[in-house]
């Protein structure tokens, strides 16, 4: 198991390096984040022990379940799933350094209130639905700038960039349009020069489309399947609103 995961991580790092080289970017301009939904803690631990450090869950429940088992291994936790406001308190108990899936004003507001109460701050990315698919979370592209302005007024939340899930399609050019749109929004928000808003990070690209994302400027690629293998649960369980509301 150890060598399998280590081998796959190495393959992914090679893919990242090659995509960076093709697009005249330095290899260290792209961070690899491991998407660990459904992956048992021991397999995640194996990945962390290769020296990899950045991981992310989609559900607070899974974050909680694996927390103790992973505590002893140095790593950084992001959160990339749809966050219900009643899970905020729990999220904050588990050392998440960045919420990549901030996608609506009421979530920002509630998160801010809780962070204030606890005297904490948090880094966030704004998640944009660039594919227009209804099953995807994220603010509509037209609303991204306004959400950035709203969030910038909440001093516990530090915006560092944008996140998106590209269209799940074999047609590379259609997928590329999603990533281009995210980059366009990044430029739009930079041009608005909102005090306190940084736009350093573009979190985009997964196992199937990370090369395209890197060509379009990704600084974080989020990879699950290519490291840990196929998941037992369909992704609709994580991405579809009607299923998530339970």
Interface residues with ligand PLP (CB under 6 A) are 35, 37, 58, 80, 165, 206-208, 222-226, 238
The nearest distance, CB 231 to ligand PLP, in angstroms, is 7
> Which token pair is 226?
């290519």
Alpha-carbon dihedral of residues 160, 221, 60, 68, nearest 10 degrees? -110
Nearer to ligand PLP, 84 or 225 (CB): 225
Nearer to ligand PLP, 30 or 154 (CB): 30
Nearer to ligand PLP, 56 or 197 (CB): 56
Q: How far apart are CA 138 and CA 40, in angstroms?
A: 27
Nearer to ligand PLP, 25 or 82 (CB): 82
Nearer to ligand PLP, 156 or 244 (CB): 244
The nearest distance, CB 215 to ligand PLP, in angstroms, is 17
Most distant CA pair in the chain, distance: 48
Residue nearest to ligand PLP (CB): 224
The nearest distance, CB 157 to ligand PLP, in angstroms, is 19
Using CB atoms within 10 Å of the CB of residue 72, give its burial: 0 to 12 exposed, 13 to 18 middle, 19+ buried.
Answer: exposed
The nearest distance, CB 210 to ligand PLP, in angstroms, is 8
The nearest distance, CB 105 to ligand PLP, in angstroms, is 21
Residue 99 bridge partners (DSSP):
79, 124
Going from the C-alpha of 218 to that of each of 62, 103, 165, 182, 213, the distances in angstroms are 26, 19, 12, 10, 5
Going from the C-alpha of 241 to that of each of 84, 131, 244, the distances in angstroms are 11, 15, 5
């Amino acid at each position: 198991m150890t060598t399998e995961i280590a081998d796959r991580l190495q393959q992914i790092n090679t893919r990242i390096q090659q995509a960076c080289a093709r697009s005249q970017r330095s290899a260290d301009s792209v961070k690899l984040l491991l998407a660990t939904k459904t992956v048992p803690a021991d397999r995640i631990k194996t990945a962390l022990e290769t020296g990899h450090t950045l991981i992310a869950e989609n559900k607070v429940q899974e974050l909680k379940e694996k927390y103790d088992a992973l505590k002893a291994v140095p790593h950084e936790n992001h959160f990339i799933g749809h966050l219900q406001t009643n899970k905020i308190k729990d999220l904050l108990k588990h050392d998440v350094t960045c919420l990549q899936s901030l996608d609506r004003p009421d979530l920002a507001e509630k998160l801010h209130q809780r962070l204030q109460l606890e005297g904490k701050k948090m880094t966030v990315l704004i998640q944009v639905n660039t594919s227009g698919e209804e099953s995807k979370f994220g603010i509509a592209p037209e609303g991204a700038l306004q959400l950035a302005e709203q969030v910038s007024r909440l001093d516990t939340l530090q915006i560092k960039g944008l996140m998106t899930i590209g269209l799940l399609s074999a047609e590379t050019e259609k997928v590329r349009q999603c990533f281009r749109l995210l980059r366009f929004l990044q430029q739009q928000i930079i041009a608005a020069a909102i005090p306190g808003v940084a736009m350093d990070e573009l979190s985009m690209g997964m196992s199937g489309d990370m090369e395209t994302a890197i060509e379009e400027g990704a600084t974080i690629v989020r990879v699950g399947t290519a490291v840990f293998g196929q998941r037992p649960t369909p992704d609709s369980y994580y991405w579809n609103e009607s299923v998530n509301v339970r």
